[in-house]
Structure 1
């Protein structure tokens, strides 16, 4: 393994920006100081004028393997992730077959151990009838349990009240929830089908998957977590109303109920459906500009704790269908940090806050061992960015297997120069370097 020295970097870490040198050796940050001697170093990188962030940790991705590999796989999407500065990811269980047994969950870990360029963890899936399997999950080696309190694949919609009580009362690990009330969505769907038949306009998506549907479900999850003292993490908040459910009066380390915002809910609004159509069809739906702005403010105010992507690719052919046939989800991992840096350029968020929400807080919330910060002794996961070099998204430079992006045609104001995973350079100036596989993340228990 190469020993790499980065000199003169503006390090964005732990609420500060300092110009320091960083020595990476044997997969860890060996030394961080104002000046480090370059003796016996394999590579020296002069980062003068550049900014070094801890690698982003994405707590919600769908990499589609096994079973849906015509859309994506762990190898292709981990490449897209590291090109976007994401050095670690947590992947969801609604693959095919659903990861509802310990054996099926372990199958995914075995695939990643051979093919993932980034570090990885996989959520155990909960269904209406697998509580015994869920309770076998090892909190040391698995990031959490995922509960779909809304539409999902196969048997993964958990809508039985007794099952939910069982999960929230018995599971000691973090419970991550997708919150949309299915009965509300079905009623709204029928209403619009009566009006439009099968040709429902995409602009109706946030009205079908409404604020009411989201709030009913997320408020139920919060209620159950409070009743049972559970560790609850509500994923992809899409409405301003939901932000009122979360507390910013205590430090994250003490919170048992937390929330996540995703890039698409911070960037797009319902005004964008006219141009983007089904390419910004997600569940939960992108809603109003006011929802977007309230979510952004809740992020800044620490009611929302982390930023993620919900990277969920589908093929171009699938997305070009009419409303009911076009699946929800899209690729975002390659461009999430660039989007956040655009927000910084617009004066909406500080660089320190980006590092906090996309790296530090994910590590705190999930209790990840030795990641999420640029600290001596920690795994050397980091990303070097150039705030002055633009990056245009074109079909040719999209690395997700699906080959499209909702950001196609957009020019970001910054670019990602290099990404390092466990001290190995895996991305450099537009090129993936296949320097080996990432590591399985471990969690403090």
Structure 2
């Protein structure tokens, strides 16, 4: 297949910690030239004047739950990757707590096949570790699998790894990145019992961050880090939610040399416990959104490079499910369409630079997971690109949501910045609220 040549002119290019004006020439799937001014004589060229707009690498979201196979009444790979492309996310890494769980090579290959036929964004998958699948883990092709995911606290899918001997064997048996959900199960059970005794099943949601508490997070995170240090495993702690946990991480080493890394999610940077009064179970996540102080400490640790990656933990449920009483309302919410606009809103508020957004949401996931030829605007790299206008306000409404679940915790929010164009592998996949229904996605490959 012959791909059209694209020339993006007069863009404010953001990559490698700097912003500079220039042109980007795309041929086939890749960036072939970046220069102050590029001219092409061929008639078969799509020229896009980006004057006044910022050109970013496509975001790489290292933690999403797209619910396929088995939970497709909530979402599927097609619907959520469409929303991701509209949100400037051009590559995603999806989690294993589907049905069947991605804990066998057969189930892993099934997901790759589904995505090859339906994904709008580039796709990679985590392999789930359990109490009894170590032999499958040892057989994995490291160039095809993004990494391992272990649930050290219960979440959707009942994949809790609670056997300490098995956990240590997994940590010793792989050099893949081991990504962990850290919440201490015994602490949560004790806290839940206490509040059920007082309120029954209909516990006020404001107690969620007290039930799934700072202690629950810190106990589990510190144990995982201790085990990683003991075994030499490569550990990545997902979705930090407390300021206290940030003390466990270092900024003394370059990311490429770090053995222990951390991620923060959009919702823990945007919301705090004051928002439960208006948002209720719509902002019920595991780990829980916690205090304003935690929110501030997470941002501080992100800017200080103790936290390495920004992700979404996109995890949709239906409104009917979310509107249940506390003990029956599942945790999680949809975020991929609005993560970048929210980050750019934080930029407008003076909280984070656009260079730092690109570092944490584009460059660092590529470094951390050894993603091949993505995450930067560089000659020779795949042309996964996002063009944003920082001064074109729009409001999140039901009629412009692309999530299959049909709701967003950001409904009613007006963002100052708009994503105008998204390119996936050199193709225009999204243009001003319209997704190209042709698919250009590829499986992510990993330099290992």
> TM-score category by the smaller chain?
over 0.9
In the alignment, which residue of structure 1 is the partner of 2:253?
250
Local SS of the residue matching 1:191 = helix
Q: What is the aligned partner in structure 1 of residue 93 from structure 2? A: 90
Q: For the Cα contact (< 8 Å) 1:7–1:22, is it kept in 2?
A: yes
Cα deviation for residue 155 of structure 1 reads: 4.9
Matched, 1:366 2:369: yes
- Per-residue deviation, residues 363-399 of structure 1 (Å, max 9, x unmatched): 1111111000000000000100000101210000000
Separation (CA, whole Å) in 2 of partners of 1:341 and 1:156: 35
State the 1:153 CA deviation.
Answer: 4.3
Q: What is the Cα deviation at residue 39 of structure 1?
A: 1.8
Partner of 2:334: 331
**Contact 2:155–2:286 (CA under 8 A) maintained in structure 1:** no
| Residues 58 and 308 in structure 1, CA contact (< 8 A), matched pair in contact too | yes
Task: Write the distance in 2 (CA, Å) between the matches of 1:312 and 1:137.
Answer: 26
Q: Shift of the alpha carbon at 1:436?
A: 2.0
The 3 A distance-change label for structure 1 pair 358 and 15 is same
The alignment's TM-score, normalised by the length of structure 2, stands at: 0.98
For 1:298, the equivalent position in structure 2 comes to 301
User: Who is 1:383 aligned against?
Assistant: 386
Whether contact under 8 Å (2:242, 2:290) holds in the other structure is: yes
Shift of 1:198: 1.2
Shift of 1:134: 1.3
> Closer, same or farther in 2 for the Cα pair 1:54/1:90, shift >3 Å?
same
Q: How does 1:211-250 map to 2 (within 5 A)?
A: 211-250=214-253
Answer yes or no: is the 8 Å Cα contact 2:427–2:440 preserved in 1. Answer: no
Alignment of 1:311-322 (within 5 A): 311-322=314-325
Aligned match for 2:203, one of 186, 191, 200: 200
Q: Does 1:68 pair with 2:71?
A: yes
Could you say which residue in structure 2 is the equivalent of 1:286? 289
Provide the residue aligned with 1:434 in structure 2: 437
Deviation at 1:435, TM superposition (A): 2.8
Residue aligning to 1:38: 40
| 2:345 alignment partner, SS class | helix
Instruction: Give the distance between the partners of 1:49 and 1:239, measured in 2 at CA.
Output: 38
Q: How many Å apart are 1:152 and its aligned residue?
A: 2.8
C-alpha root-mean-square deviation of aligned residues, in Å?
0.8
Q: 1:167: how far off?
A: 0.9
**C-alpha distance 412-155 of structure 1, shift in aligned 2 (>3 A):** closer
- Structure 1 residue 105 and structure 2 residue 105: aligned? no
Give the TM-score normalised by structure 1: 0.99
| Aligned partner of residue 365 in structure 2, secondary structure | helix
Q: Is the 1:359–1:373 contact (alpha carbons within 8 Å) kept by the matching residues of 2?
A: yes
| Separation in structure 2 between the aligned mates of residue 435 and residue 297 of structure 1, nearest angstrom | 41
SS at match of 1:274: helix
Residue-pair matches, total:
445
Identify unmatched segments of 5+ residues in structure 1. Answer: none
- The corresponding residue for 1:119 is 122
Shift of 1:63: 0.1
Residue in structure 2 matched with residue 17 of structure 1 by the alignment: 19
Pick aligned residue for 1:26 from 13, 25, 28: 28
1 CA distance for matches of 2:210 and 2:420?
A: 40
Could you report, residue by residue, the CA deviation over 1:195-225 in whole angstroms, capped at 9, with x for unpaired residues?
A: 1111210001000000000001010110011
* Cα deviation 1:316-339 (Å, max 9, x = unaligned): 111111101110000000000000
Cα distance in 2 for partners of 1:3, 1:391 equals 31
For the 8 Å contact 2:429–2:440, the answer to whether it is kept is no
Q: Distance in 2 between matches of 1:153 and 1:400?
A: 19
- SS of residue paired to 2:337: helix
> What is the CA distance between 1:139 and its match in structure 2?
1.1
